[in-house]
Amino acid sequence: MNETSDEEMNIPDTEERMVQVAVEVPESVRDGAKAKLPYGGMSQVIREELNRVAFGEEMGQRSRLESRLEDVREERDKLQRERRELNAKLENLEDQAKDIERKLDDLTTQEDRYEAKLESVEYNIRIEGRNLFADHGQVESIAAEAGKSPEGVIKDLKHRNPDVPDEAFLSGLDGGGGFSPPDKNPKSSLKSAKNMGYGKDGEMRPLEEREEKYRPRDPDADN
């Protein structure tokens, strides 16, 4: 592709000595043009027209290309700004997603820890036949660690252990007393062992099995 120099295009040198050109026009033409053009606009129009006459389409082509270049650069700069803004928004969304994921992981850890605590005290009511109630030290400790009320812990225990009688969750002062724990010496009755699917002696029935064989209590039904 051949390149054309400014000299070959007959475009004037920008350092060339400038001269004034006097143009006489009717007063109405001057006033009409002056009203429609910005300050200094008439001089600009005259310069552009004289350049076009003197140097032909080469000058016009250069002006159009320079104007197009300016437009392209403005559009490029605009898109770059938009891209930076989008990147900032994406980074913000990524940070939010990571924060939510951390919170979910923390919740999962807390839930797993809470469930493990419930399983540890379920041994009391399912095998040893000891009462658990809201004022019980272990229940209060679990509630404090989980950020729940002791009554809420008792409701969760009832929901997880529908085959445990209600009196198991009452203190002696509230009417609680002795009860038959569902998983104590399960092999003492062969028929019971066969029907209920107990494991070895002293083993708690799994939570899934309890939910399958008994209709769980509604934790809010006692309210």
Range 41-52 burial, b when 16+ CB lie within 10 A, else e? ebeeeeeeeebe
Looking at residue 99, what is its pLDDT?
87
The token pair at 24 is: 């006489």
Whole-structure pTM value: 0.43
Residue 219's nearest CA partner among 132, 136, 158 is: 158
Q: How far is CA 33 from CA 24, 27, 50, in A?
A: 13, 10, 17
**Residue given tokens 């053009």 in the structure block:** 37
CA quadruple 40, 44, 46, 52: dihedral, nearest 10 = 180
What does DSSP assign to residue 8? T
Check residue 195 and give its pLDDT: 39
Q: Determine the pLDDT at residue 153.
A: 94
Mean pLDDT by 10 residues, the chain (223 residues): 47 66 82 84 79 68 82 94 95 90 80 88 88 92 91 93 90 69 59 38 60 49 46
Determine the residue type at 86.
L
